[in-house]
Amino acid sequence: MHKEFKKGLVWFRRDLRVHDNAALSDAILRCEEVLCVFVFDRSILDALPRYDRRVEFIHGSVVALDAALRALAEKPEAGLIVLHATAEEGLPSLASELLVDAVFTARDYEPYARQRDDSVRAALRTQGIAMVTVKDHVIFEERELLTQMAKPYGVFTPYMRSWLAKLEQQLPAIHSNASADKVLGKRPSQHAKPPPSLQTLGFEATNLLQLGIAPGEAGATALLNDFVGRLDRYDETRNFPSVKGPSYLGVHLRFGTVSIRQLVHLAYQEKLQGSAGASTWLGELVWRDFYFQILANFPQVSVGAFKPDYDAIVWESGELAQLHFAAWCEGRTGYPIVDAAMAQLNQTGYMHNRLRMVAGSFLVKHLGIDWRWGERYFAEKLNDFDLSANNGGWQWVSSSGCDAQPYFRIFNPVTQSEKFDADGKFIRRYIPQLAKLDAKSIHAPWAAKPLVMASAGVVLGENYPQPIVDHAEARAATLARYGIVRKTD
């Protein structure tokens, strides 16, 4: 049967899987022959530290993807072509060399990705090669959901109502790989070699595997299967960092080793069966789409506040701010729940969602430091760093974003600790020097009796710091700082 294109090239990016892959499925349907490529983009990688868990995760997922493509086609010559180059130069050059008629890829909504894709598209056009982009990372993208005034949503609750109403009309289809064996690896390619090693790319092995983070579709499937048994209780367990409550699928969603459609199908069907946990989890997946469409429709949020008035806030600066920021980054604030959260981030590249709010709020509303400092630090450290969600979360805690917490809501780290880590189990894991404190004293060691501290072997200022700020004083300073924008809330 005659197809639209003779030869197509699928450019994998943040969709490192063969199951329910929109770009791969579209290429199989529309091309007589399909080749596949992944680019280790030097425009991104060259600036990263040589020890980066995300690069190791991507590398492991690319190796798994290469094997999966060979298995899907049932032939060894169907492997993945792997480039180590800038995408703007390497991709068009490869497409020209392979004499492809079209490049298929999933749309990306980040400002850098859009610029990159525009450059690649322009280069391909000069060679007479089409660039076909498809929706894959989200359920509803950009302007698919609009208000009655035909504008993008800036408030979550009406967005979620609209999102769920459209979902209920028809669940998104799962993309098929039927006939993949007929078009993948149709002819041997000299480019389809085993992916280069992590060391060849210039990176070192990290503690990724020791942390139990398995890359690729197999890693995602194992986590999802484990989560299914806990899904019904997700609404009860998700806020407690010492409890196995979350799905831990963030890094897999970030790099597309699991399909968002697959997860939404699961959550929606379980919700229909009356699962409160599934309903809550589905709401979290809606938040993910919400932040994607915020970034796509309001790209200015990547550099400033969603609410422009909040850019007028005067943040702390100078040497003291630098010292406080360093203490926050290194988990030396003297507030155990904040310090434990930062220790978890620094040691594992993961931070529990409740703690992201607590630690973020502390930086902004206790230390008076610009939320963008914290956003950049999380971007460096988080395995599941995603610009849209990270930016949305930081603007939420700073009250400058869409549908953010009000400026006068200031998390008390002690009461948050007492509520969500009541027995101090999480704190003890990440701050072992406090391990012998009782469940009451561990949340605010400075308030404990001297005898309690002595028997636990804790000496403030020596093996654990004094609080670097007083909560009440910090709260008053924050309310004054936000006075410039009070009238906007």
Q: Which of 32, 144, 284, 316 is catalytic?
A: 284
Q: Which of 163, 281, 328, 371 is catalytic?
A: 371
315 catalytically annotated: yes
Phi (first) and psi of residue 487, to 5 degrees: -70, -15
Burial of 156 (0-12, 13-18, 19+ CB in 10 A): buried
Cα-to-chain-centroid distance, residue 169:
28
Q: Which of 32, 89, 142, 287 is catalytic?
A: 287
**Residue 327 Cα distances to 116, 241, 321, 416, angstroms:** 36, 22, 10, 20
Q: Which of 141, 144, 353, 446 is catalytic?
A: 353
236 catalytically annotated: no
371 catalytically annotated: yes
Q: Which of 394, 396, 412, 418 is catalytic?
A: 394
Nearest to 65 by CA among 258, 263, 327, 329: 258
Whole-angstrom distance, CA of residue 162 vs CA of residue 293: 13
Q: Please write down the HEC assignment for all residues of the chain.
A: CCCCEEEEEEEECCCCCCCCCHHHHHHHHHEEEEEEEEEEEHHHHCCCCCCCHHHHHHHHHHHHHHHHHHHHHCCHHHCCEEEEECHHHHHHHHHHHHCCCEEEEECCCCHHHHHHHHHHHHHHHHCCCEEEEECCCCCCCCCCCCCCCCCCCCCHHHHHHHHHHHHHHCCCCCCCCCCHHHHECCCCCCCCCCCCCCCCCCCCCCCCCCCCCCCHHHHHHHHHHHHHCCHHHHHHHCCCCCCCCCCCCHHHHHCCCCCHHHHHHHHHHHHHCCCHHHHHHHHHHHHHHHHHHHHHHCHHHHCCCCCHHHHHCCCCCHHHHHHHHHHHHCCCCCCHHHHHHHHHHHHHCCCCHHHHHHHHHHHHHCCCCCHHHHHHHHHHHCCCCCHHHHHHHHHHHCCCCCCCCCCCCCCCHHHHHHHHCCCCHHHHHHCHHHCCCCCCHHHCHHHCCHHHHHHHCCCECCCECCCCCCHHHHHHHHHHHHHHHHHHC
Q: Which of 144, 177, 315, 316 is catalytic?
A: 315
Nearest to 52 by CA among 214, 241, 208: 208
89 catalytically annotated: no
Pairing of strands 5-12, 31-41: parallel
Would you tell me how many other CB atoms lie within 10 Å of the CB of residue 367?
A: 25
Catalytic positions are 284, 287, 315, 353, 371, 394
